[in-house]
Amino acid sequence: SQKSKDALHIPRYVRVNEHKSTVENMIKAFEKEGYTFVDTPEDLRTLGIKSFCKDAHLHDVLVFPPKTDLHIHPKYVAGDIILQDKASCFPAHVAQIPTNVHAIDACAAPGNKTSHLSALMKNTGRIWAFDLDQRRLQTLKKLTTKAGCRNIEAIHGSFLDADPMDAMYAKVEYLLLDPSCSGSGIVSRLDHLVDGDDDEQENADGTITTREERLQNLSDFQISIIEHALKFPNAKRIVYSTCSIHSEENENVVQTILSRHPEFVLASRESVLPTWQRRGFPGEMENYREQSDSVVRTLPSEDLTNGFFVACFVPRTATS
């Protein structure tokens, strides 16, 4: 399939865990092991075996050729590096989170984005990390502990049940929303296991749902997660992301939120990965065409990442 072909070309992205090391030290460490650092490769597709470079957009990401296997590498085992696709490193950066603030990661497990936020916050302030799934939340606890995160409080339960008026959350300014999605953007060598994108699917109870029905259910859920986040009285930046390539879960969701909540707008392009060229599809945000530039997309076949989408909502009063 096209997805398998794409997967063959996706580099091995490595996020340096800044709780434990620095990008410069990690570059030195890999060089010492015999890897060759390439300063500015013309085309990532030409990166040779055992060579690597810095990512062109994200300061804490290194790029290795597709076949590089680092799963048993001591730096990975120690939690010094995180094996995370480049696009899934976008949301924490888009949050532009400073130190000493309060944040919520609403759909957090297994916790790669939580640990990324924690690193960008330099272990200060606080992150409440919610997940409905107990088993996945256990993984989050393990993963974030291994990564050296000390500012995370894992909460088993639905984010939708968190009371925005609870005094505990009074200072929450940053919310990261990465809700369940179709996963249609994920390209991996195991794509047949994650690809839930068939036209019709049989459910556990024997009923059949169409692709349209499933996308409708997902987008209703995604909208409810965003709408809940908008209720937090001090919300400053609310980052929404999916690993879907379907506009039903992306631009259309954003358009619904903007039309129902005029007190919120999209953060402008300057604060949402301005140098990333692929932006939202204007035709899928008909009433907000000119704002499609404020959201980010990735396309597996073109961008050498998984398919991904990121938008950031800010209170209208925060813009002038």
- Give contact residues for ligand SAM (rule: CB under 6 A): 88, 106-113, 130-133, 136, 158-160, 178-180
Active site residue 181: no
110 annotated ligand-binding residue: yes
Nearer to ligand SAM, 86 or 113 (CB): 113
Cβ contacts of residue 45 below 8 Å, gap of 6+? 9, 304
**CB of residue 249 vs ligand SAM: minimum separation in angstroms?**
11
75 annotated ligand-binding residue: no
164 annotated ligand-binding residue: no
**CB of residue 306 vs ligand SAM: minimum separation in angstroms?**
12
Nearer to ligand SAM, 13 or 288 (CB): 13
What six digits make up the tokens of 258? 């903007």
Kindly tell me the burial class for residue 244, based on how many C-beta atoms sit within 10 Å of its own C-beta (0-12, 13-18, 19 or more).
buried
312 annotated ligand-binding residue: no
113 annotated ligand-binding residue: yes
Residue pair 86/76 in contact by the 8 Å Cβ criterion: no
Cβ of 300: how many Cβ atoms within 10 Å? Answer: 23
Catalytic residue among 53, 89, 243, 312: 243
- Give the type of residue at 128: W
**CB of residue 140 vs ligand SAM: minimum separation in angstroms?**
7
**DSSP assignment of 65-91, as one string?**
-TT---TT-HHHHTTSEEE--TGGGHH
CA distance 128 to 244: 25
**Nearest-CB residue for ligand SAM:** 107
**CB of residue 203 vs ligand SAM: minimum separation in angstroms?**
17
Nearer to ligand SAM, 265 or 310 (CB): 310
Nearer to ligand SAM, 52 or 55 (CB): 55
CA of 47: how far to CAs of 115, 137, 184, 299, in Å?
Answer: 28, 36, 27, 20
Q: Which residues belong to the active site?
A: 243
Please enumerate, by residue number, every residue annotated as part of a binding site. 107-113, 131, 178
Please enumerate, by residue number, every residue annotated as part of a binding site for S-adenosyl-L-methionine. 107-113, 131, 178
